[in-house]
Amino acid sequence: MKVTDFDFHLPEHLIAQHPLKERTSSRLLVLDRETGETVDGQFVDLLRYVKKGDCLVFNESRVLPARLFGEKADTGGHAELLLLKETGQPDQWEVLAKPARRIKKGTVLTFGEGLLRCECDEVLEEGKRLMTFTYKGVFLEILESLGTMPLPPYIKERLDDPDRYQTVYAKESGSAAAPTAGLHFSQPFLEQLKNAGVKLAFLTLHVGLGTFRPVSVDSIEEHHMHSEFFDLNEETAELLNATRQEGGRIIAVGTTSARTLETIADETGTFAASSGWTSIFIYPGYEFRGIDGLLTNFHLPKSTLLMLVSAFSSREHVLNAYKEAVAKEYRFFSFGDAMLMMKGVKP
């Protein structure tokens, strides 16, 4: 299957540059994953489609203010780091460095007038480096004071309120990008869902920078997926299994939740507490066993995320829905509108 099979025309003005004033005021396109039928609506219409006994599964990963601006200790030259993931070694991170050619093994960088320092341990490919940080105090607190939010490259304008690139339930710090399907939810709307008998479950998948990387091969089967850390605890596993046993549907909020659930679910769709790294790559032909529905934003042309949602329905149904979304001027990507995919959709 070719990457070009997942291309579509997207006018640039449909790429949302700002979040809406109210999280829940976005639009919702509902797609019947079997028939391809669609229904236009508002995000709050989710209450019409998700029923008592269903379970929404949220990724509670929190975006790190992971972009750091500093200088080289020896020359004072400008340097920029984007923290990607911890390596498991004490205070060591894999980072994306700029200008990479000037940051060699042994290079020392300082941030915040020496409040934070790091030294390059190893030079990796594609501008990546392994850096060990030294500091006094709590690393995450220092990062909160010195770092800035790493917005996706297609957002060109400044974000006035960094909290709008966090979900209201964000808890576990570690992502380089937000699980954006969750940005539509407010605390009052979550309470409405619970009051309607909908179960809310939480897991963690720390979103990596690879989520923005284009597919550089012609055939999607040759693409190597980046790995990301996930964690699903015993309480969530029991809630998901009870939902299945009682006839409820498991609906992933976002592709990150979907990838985690599909990584963990066994052949019977049963879950067990688990944590580790996943590089699961889902594209058409994949047989889903962990989820019954998917709530997601509108994704980039030729992206692995578009391939995932196409696998959950069909390439034809999804591209037709995207064509409709473009014609009706839905807003795309991180701060854009949402799409709900499930069976048996009725207006």
Domain parsing of the chain, residue ranges: 3-63+160-342, 67-146
Q: What is the pLDDT of residues 199-258, one digit of tens each?
A: 999 999 999 866 666 677 888 888 888 889 999 999 999 999 999 999 999 999 999 999
CA gap 7, 2 in Å, rounded: 10
pLDDT of residue 122: 96
The predicted-structure confidence for 46-73, as pLDDT tens digits, reads as follows 999 999 999 999 999 999 898 999 999 9
Instruction: Identify the CATH number of the domain defined by range 3-63+160-342.
Output: 3.40.1780.10
What local confidence, expressed as pLDDT, does residue 309 receive? 97
The full DSSP string for 109-149 is EEETTTTEEEEEEEE-STTEEEEEEEESS-HHHHHHHH-B-
pTM score > 0.95 for this model?
no
pLDDT tens, position by position, 253-296: 999 999 999 999 999 999 999 999 999 999 999 999 999 999 99
- pLDDT band of residue 91 (cuts 50, 70, 90) is very high
* Long-range pairs for 147-151: beta carbons < 8 A, 24 or more residues apart: 147/64, 147/65, 147/66, 147/67, 147/68, 147/83, 148/65, 148/67, 148/68, 148/69, 149/63, 149/65, 149/67, 150/63, 150/64, 150/65, 150/66, 150/67, 150/82, 150/176, 150/177, 151/334
Q: Which CATH superfamily is domain 67-146 in?
A: QueA-like (2.40.10.240)
Mean confidence (pLDDT) of the chain: 93
Q: Which residues contact 183 (CB under 8 A, 6 or more apart)?
A: 19, 23, 164, 165, 167, 334, 335
Q: Return all residues near 83 (Cβ < 8 A) that are at least 6 apart.
A: 64, 66, 68, 93, 95, 143, 147, 176
Kindly report, residue by residue over 116-171, the tens digit of the pLDDT: 999 999 999 888 999 999 999 999 899 989 998 888 778 888 888 888 999 999 99
